Structure 1
Amino acid sequence: MAAEFHRPTRFPPGMFEGFHGGDDPAAISRVAHDTAAALLSRVRADPDPETVQRLVEYTDRHGIDTIAELWAQASAKSLPGALWRIYLLRTLIRQDAAGTSLAFQRGTEVSHTIDQVVAGAAIPTGPDEVRDLADTILHGVFTGDFAVALDRAAAFCRVAAAGFADLADDADASDAVHPDRSGDLTRRALRLTELAAELASCARLWRHDSLD
């Protein structure tokens, strides 16, 4: 999928709503792969700014349910799986930009890797900066190097996961008022770690022209 594109086609505002896979798992899988390939190839072949902006902001206007219905059941190491995870990450960031930015900032302090550089978030990283980064990464999916966009998302997840884990340690030691806070933070760290691994795998597959 990395090299071959279909003829450019302009997507209408309701670009996702007409796709239905039925109840047959094979049909659902086929629709997931077909819609992901068609959407990505057509937009990347003709990256009209209005179309790209509508795609980036789609979940803000319509929620994430339609995208989840299309792509959430796809394999983690597939094109629809990769697109689903990018949209999911953007949604998670926007749902708690303050908490996520705090975790990312903490992650930059405790993580000794180049991930914060790869992610490309502005420093210091506040809520506006993480929201902007999420939009920039999704823009890159449609207009830039797809593998680089996935790697940036994975790097962000790793840094934020390190931050959430460190915040969980602090909460475990001191937060008697909210005893569940440490567990919640730990679960967020684990989910982001898993998400990072999945996105990084997709990036490697894309570079080998094996993500479909």
Structure 2
Amino acid sequence: MPKPFHRPVRRPSASFDNIVGAGDPADDLRVAHTTASALLERARTDATGETAQRLIDFTAEHGIDEIAEVWAKAPARSLPGALWRLYLLQASIQGDPALTALLYERGRVELRTADAVIAGAPTPASPEELGALIDTILHGVFRGDFAVALDRAAAFCRVVAAGATHAADDDEGTEPQRATALTQRAYRLTTSAEDLTACAAAWRRGVLI
């Protein structure tokens, strides 16, 4: 059974590190699932696309404090858990776009998989282009194939995780604290990728709730 994703601080950091313990009462879980389903349905049934764009623009400008209160405590492999991880990824990129671009490019070069192609970023990708990529993925969540959007986000996480792992190896002898931080970042990104991939599969089976 997947572990619940615990309550974060009010504004998630770029390194996925600001997560602290909290309870996970049943009422909060019901609210998380209900709000996630309602938001997704509203955005996906708006033929104009305006609802989806407002959601993306609002979280980009103001953060995800209110969403975090309910979604961050949901199980990782659930609809609210998946949406939370997508917005956390957006916040991570915006929090340090230069480092994200550096790690993504390192991962793209080092990783011998199709993940960079699946993620869909330009080669090489600038910080601004990676920001545009996550917005495109979020548009896919609300307007396109939800499972494909989750797979793209998972692929992105794997590429950055690979970059962080190789960068950590480079820094291990000279900057051990930075190497540790990068290793932890890689672990969190890898875990998020696994959860997002599982959510995509569950959505295709019609069992993601």
Task: Give 2:204's aligned amino acid.
Answer: R
TM-score, structure 2 normalization:
0.86
Does the CA contact (< 8 Å) of 1:97 and 1:131 recur in 2?
yes
Following TM superposition, by how much is the alpha carbon of 1:46 offset from its aligned partner in structure 2, in angstroms? 1.5
How far apart, CA to CA, are the structure 1 residues paired with 2:24 and 2:205? 30
Say if 2:134 is the partner of 1:134: yes
Deviations 1:139-196 (A, max 9, x none): 11000000000000000000110000000001113x3xx4311001111111100010
Does the CA contact (< 8 Å) of 1:47 and 1:142 recur in 2?
no
- Give the counterpart of 1:194 among 188, 191, 196: 191
TM-score, structure 1 normalization:
0.85
Q: What's the counterpart of residue 172 of structure 1? A: 172
How far apart, CA to CA, are the structure 2 residues paired with 1:132 and 1:123? 14
Q: How many residues align?
A: 187
- Give the counterpart of 1:203 among 196, 200, 204: 200
How far apart, CA to CA, are the structure 1 residues paired with 2:176 and 2:39? 45
Does the CA contact (< 8 Å) of 2:157 and 2:193 recur in 1?
yes
> Pairwise mapping of residues 118-133 of structure 1 onto structure 2 (< 5 A)?
118-133=118-133
> Pairwise mapping of residues 25-40 of structure 1 onto structure 2 (< 5 A)?
25-40=25-40
Larger gyration radius, structure 1 or structure 2: 1
Residue 180 of structure 1 aligns to a residue whose secondary structure is helix
Say if 2:179 is the partner of 1:182: yes
> Pairwise mapping of residues 1-212 of structure 1 onto structure 2 (< 5 A)?
25-173=25-173, 175=174, 178-212=175-209
Structure 1, unmatched stretches of 5+, are 1-22
Following TM superposition, by how much is the alpha carbon of 1:62 offset from its aligned partner in structure 2, in angstroms? 2.3
Q: What's the counterpart of residue 8 of structure 1? A: none
How far apart, CA to CA, are the structure 1 residues paired with 2:119 and 2:176? 32
Residue 172 of structure 2 aligns to a residue whose secondary structure is helix
Task: Give 1:157's aligned amino acid.
Answer: C
Residue 73 of structure 1 aligns to a residue whose secondary structure is coil
Following TM superposition, by how much is the alpha carbon of 1:24 offset from its aligned partner in structure 2, in angstroms? 8.3
Q: What's the counterpart of residue 15 of structure 1? A: none
Moved over 4 A (4+): none
Deviations 1:111-156 (A, max 9, x none): 0000000000011112011111111111110000000000000000
Task: Give 1:201's aligned amino acid.
Answer: A
